[in-house]
Homo-oligomer: A and B are copies of this chain.
Amino acid sequence: MPRVSQDHLEARRRQILDGSRVCFARYGYEGATVRRLEEATGLSRGAIFHHFRDKESLFLALAEEDAARMADVVAAQGLVQVMRDLLAGGEHPADWLGTRLEVSRRLRTDPEFRGRWAERSEQLTAATRKRLLRQRDAGILRDDVDVDVLTSYLELVLEGLVSHLAMGLPAENLGPVLDLVEESVRRHRVRASVEP
């Protein structure tokens, strides 16, 4: 094997991740055959599986990348913003939704996958919890409900949203619902005075 630079390896890895993301989103995990992954990435199976042990590892790398990206948004803007991004569509949110849906489906149908996914999903919970604690310190968050309960609440709503979108149900009226979710974790202000 010729010696390749670190940059080149990184670029290849990126190329595989980006191409296979589109492929998984379009065909689902089962439908993303090695043949289709080759087409989507423009690389041979040899090149792909030089970087990733197998399809499962490739998918987990993608899902992990998305979870990290979601955790970044959570840290900066909160989990409700992640949900708003999902609603708004656009470039990145659609990416998240694809892997997130596939993760949800596999969690339902593949008990073994649960274990492998558990530690990876932990980071989103941790990021959410951390941000809520920071907001509590800043006096923004309500302080009469445990932060763990608020974290579970937001994650449950996110699950509902993912499921709702997966079922192809209309989502254009969900903006005000997310406003309500956001307001219900905040320190109480007299409701009549909340900005419209």
A180 and B184 contact, CB distance less than 8 A: yes
Q: How many copies does the complex hold?
A: 2
Closest to A142 in B: B191
A177 and B194 contact, CB distance less than 8 A: no
Stretch at the interface among A35-43, A129-137, A158-166: A158-166
Q: Is A75 an interface residue (CB 8 A)?
A: no
Categorize the interface residue count of chain A. 35 or more
Stretch at the interface among A9-17, A88-96, A143-151: A143-151
Contact of A111 among B160, B168, B188 (CB under 8 A): B168
A153 and B168 contact, CB distance less than 8 A: no
Residues of B within 8 A of A145 (CB): 176, 180
Q: Is A114 an interface residue (CB 8 A)?
A: yes
Q: Is A167 an interface residue (CB 8 A)?
A: yes
Kindly supply a per-residue 1/0 record for chain A positions 161-196, scoring 1 wherever the CB is within 8 Å of any chain B CB and 0 otherwise: 111101111000110110011011000101110100
Residues of B within 8 A of A157 (CB): 156-157, 160
**Additional A-B contact list (5), CB under 8 Å, known A149-B173, A159-B161:** A145-B180, A150-B180, A156-B160, A157-B160, A163-B163
